[in-house]
Chains A and B, each alone.
Chain A
């Protein structure tokens, strides 16, 4: 019982609430070089991720859409984390984030602020909420034109 509630506190940390209430980089980007749409058919969450890539570096990134606190905060934190990153590093981070959110004992890595999302691991039904934005960004920068799905 107490475990449950401490897990809940792990999931809904203050940083998550903050990014849910005031998502960062929450706007469309008309001059984006890369755009992708993400959709979780199970819950109906939808978002668009925009990126401006120049010389292999993500110069700017933003998103719009609607979703739960976990999905909104994950998208918001992601935009802060990847701005200024070379594409190869974004891809590596995408893979590491996926492992951090889904594997019981992921490889040690300093995720910085993104660490707040690790509580999702204890809530398997919510993992897809946290990964949607990352899948969508991955699709955007790898130029996959299809709608990203978490399925």
Chain B
């Protein structure tokens, strides 16, 4: 009852910008205000050092050399797998397959599991807010198998229409693909409920965790999903590395999708036999340094604490939402009750690309466009949005810089208040 007025503005809880060297480099003479974390996150010094140290101290090929360095590199690589297992709370290390990223992980499931298991008339059900990478691989598989792609619609607030989703689930549904967090809107989907309903209908579930793993605690056993995919570079790790979690009982029976070294048991010109999982899906020399860097990134976020990161980003999201709406002449696209740190918006009279350019001259980096979610933009009747996406190193000052830059853009274009 005696709450002081000053408490109405939430406080940023973390102060970790100093861990990220790039944040101290000026952009065009201005402090970098990096709000394009949905595209990729910056890397802490510990990740940069881990990759450097790997090449300085540990580089060798894995799973084949008898020499010490090869064994050492193999140990680091497998330690990275254990790190991913812990991050997702998977039951077994063998359930983790390294990929180039989220996109490749989804393609792996599409071209291994789906191509082998789907037949004409089967259905894959996705949502209207999927990234192109959780749409196009299924279209490719549908074209090859005669299966059909179904889409559960999105409500005006940017939430999954659960009633429509239930009605689209049926005996023909074999797989449900759903984003844990929408990259374009920030909506956190009720993936545990989505999974429970899918399982009741006899379908498997793939969750696209690209926008989730760096922002909240993920537990694949609690979610009970069959596949979970993510990228290292959106988790403060290097580009070109990511992972697929697949339930062991399913993964062990999946056929290879890429052939080569490292994935075989025996090879003759007549016939080859394949390695056990997960090696069966890791043909060729993998991105070993990437795994080491991602391992360091996972340790970093666990050290900071994913619950602390989630709380920090939630308070900044509330602040950003309030500041942006106070500008006037601005509409937020995606107003779901459950949101991660993403604000997508359109400004009356200014195209998102013009906004992106003007904000850039203020040192504020945002994304402008369709966010690889063109069907979602069509659903909202807009060509694209401007998107500010938050990370653990963002501050209230960053949010204030965003609002100030938007005010300048409105002034330049002669719109707004």
Residues in chain A within 8 A of chain B (CB atoms)? 1, 3-5, 7-8, 11-12, 17, 42-46, 66-70, 123, 125-126, 129
In the complex, which residues of chain A have a beta carbon less than 8 angstroms from the beta carbon of B414?
17
Please report the C-alpha to C-alpha distance between residue A69 and residue B414 in the assembled complex, in whole angstroms.
13
- Residues facing A in B371-417 (CB within 8 A) are 374, 377, 383-384, 412-414
B361 within 8 Å of A (CB atoms): yes
In the complex, which residues of chain B have a beta carbon less than 8 angstroms from the beta carbon of A69?
350-351, 354, 413
In the complex, which residues of chain B have a beta carbon less than 8 angstroms from the beta carbon of A45?
353, 383
Q: How many residues of B contact A (CB 8 A)?
A: 21
Please report the C-alpha to C-alpha distance between residue A129 and residue B354 in the assembled complex, in whole angstroms.
10
Q: A17-B414, A68-B352 are in contact. List 19 more A-B contacts (CB 8 A).
A: A1-B29, A4-B28, A4-B29, A8-B357, A8-B361, A8-B412, A12-B354, A12-B358, A17-B413, A42-B369, A43-B369, A43-B370, A44-B374, A44-B377, A45-B383, A68-B354, A69-B351, A126-B353, A129-B353
Please report the C-alpha to C-alpha distance between residue A17 and residue B414 in the assembled complex, in whole angstroms.
9
- Smallest CB-CB separation from A21: which chain B residue? B349
B252 within 8 Å of A (CB atoms): no
B30 within 8 Å of A (CB atoms): yes
Task: Give the contacting residue for B358; candidates A8, A42, A43, A66; CB below 8 A.
Answer: A8
- Smallest CB-CB separation from A1: which chain B residue? B29
- Smallest CB-CB separation from A125: which chain B residue? B357
Please report the C-alpha to C-alpha distance between residue A111 and residue B358 in the assembled complex, in whole angstroms.
26
Please report the C-alpha to C-alpha distance between residue A47 and residue B374 in the assembled complex, in whole angstroms.
17
Whether the Cβ atoms of A68 and B353 lie closer than 8 Å is: yes
Task: Give the contacting residue for B383; candidates A7, A44, A70, A125; CB below 8 A.
Answer: A44
In the complex, which residues of chain B have a beta carbon less than 8 angstroms from the beta carbon of A66?
383
In the complex, which residues of chain A have a beta carbon less than 8 angstroms from the beta carbon of B377?
44
Residue pairs across A and B with CB atoms within 8 Å: the count is 56
In the complex, which residues of chain A have a beta carbon less than 8 angstroms from the beta carbon of B368?
43
Please report the C-alpha to C-alpha distance between residue A67 and residue B350 in the assembled complex, in whole angstroms.
10
Q: How far apart are B315's CB and chain A's nearest CB, in angstroms? A: 30
B 161-190 binary contact with A (CB < 8 Å = 1; else 0) = 000000000000000000000000000000
- Smallest CB-CB separation from B353: which chain A residue? A68
In the complex, which residues of chain A have a beta carbon less than 8 angstroms from the beta carbon of B350?
69
Q: A42-B369, A43-B368, A69-B351 are in contact. Are A126 and B357 (CB under 8 A)?
A: yes
In the complex, which residues of chain B have a beta carbon less than 8 angstroms from the beta carbon of A1?
28-30
- Smallest CB-CB separation from A2: which chain B residue? B29
- Smallest CB-CB separation from A9: which chain B residue? B412
Whether the Cβ atoms of B361 and A7 lie closer than 8 Å is: yes
Whether the Cβ atoms of B384 and A43 lie closer than 8 Å is: yes
In the complex, which residues of chain B have a beta carbon less than 8 angstroms from the beta carbon of A8?
357-358, 361, 412
- Smallest CB-CB separation from B378: which chain A residue? A44
Please report the C-alpha to C-alpha distance between residue A8 and residue B358 in the assembled complex, in whole angstroms.
7
- Smallest CB-CB separation from A129: which chain B residue? B353
Q: How far apart are B204's CB and chain A's nearest CB, in angstroms? A: 32
In the complex, which residues of chain B have a beta carbon less than 8 angstroms from the beta carbon of A7?
361
Q: A43-B368, A44-B383 are in contact. Are A123 and B413 (CB under 8 A)?
A: no
Q: How far apart are B366's CB and chain A's nearest CB, in angstroms? A: 13
Q: How far apart are A12's CB and chain B's nearest CB, in angstroms? A: 6
Please report the C-alpha to C-alpha distance between residue A123 and residue B360 in the assembled complex, in whole angstroms.
10
Task: Give the contacting residue for A70; candidates B28, B354, B361, B384; CB below 8 A.
Answer: B354
In the complex, which residues of chain A have a beta carbon less than 8 angstroms from the beta carbon of B361?
4-5, 7-8
Q: How far apart are B406's CB and chain A's nearest CB, in angstroms? A: 14
Whether the Cβ atoms of A44 and B29 lie closer than 8 Å is: no
Q: How far apart are A120's CB and chain B's nearest CB, in angstroms? A: 10
Identify the 7 closest CB pairs spanning chains A and B, nearest first: A68-B351, A68-B353, A4-B361, A1-B29, A44-B370, A44-B383, A69-B354
In the complex, which residues of chain A have a beta carbon less than 8 angstroms from the beta carbon of B412?
8, 12
- Smallest CB-CB separation from A4: which chain B residue? B361
9 contacts between A and B (CB under 8 A): A4-B28, A8-B357, A8-B412, A11-B357, A12-B413, A17-B413, A43-B384, A68-B353, A126-B357
Q: How far apart are A34's CB and chain B's nearest CB, in angstroms? A: 25
Q: How far apart are A56's CB and chain B's nearest CB, in angstroms? A: 36
Please report the C-alpha to C-alpha distance between residue A135 and residue B50 in the assembled complex, in whole angstroms.
47
Q: How far apart are A122's CB and chain B's nearest CB, in angstroms? A: 10
Please report the C-alpha to C-alpha distance between residue A4 and residue B384 in the assembled complex, in whole angstroms.
25
In the complex, which residues of chain A have a beta carbon less than 8 angstroms from the beta carbon of B383?
43-46, 66-67
In the complex, which residues of chain B have a beta carbon less than 8 angstroms from the beta carbon of A46?
383
Please report the C-alpha to C-alpha distance between residue A46 and residue B384 in the assembled complex, in whole angstroms.
12
Whether the Cβ atoms of A44 and B369 lie closer than 8 Å is: yes
In the complex, which residues of chain B have a beta carbon less than 8 angstroms from the beta carbon of A70?
353-354
Please report the C-alpha to C-alpha distance between residue A124 and residue B357 in the assembled complex, in whole angstroms.
10
B 331-360 binary contact with A (CB < 8 Å = 1; else 0) = 000000000000000000011111001100
- Smallest CB-CB separation from B412: which chain A residue? A12
Please report the C-alpha to C-alpha distance between residue A125 and residue B412 in the assembled complex, in whole angstroms.
20
Q: How far apart are B36's CB and chain A's nearest CB, in angstroms? A: 13
Interface-central residue, A4, A17, A42, A129, by most chain B CB under 10 Å? A4
- Smallest CB-CB separation from A42: which chain B residue? B369
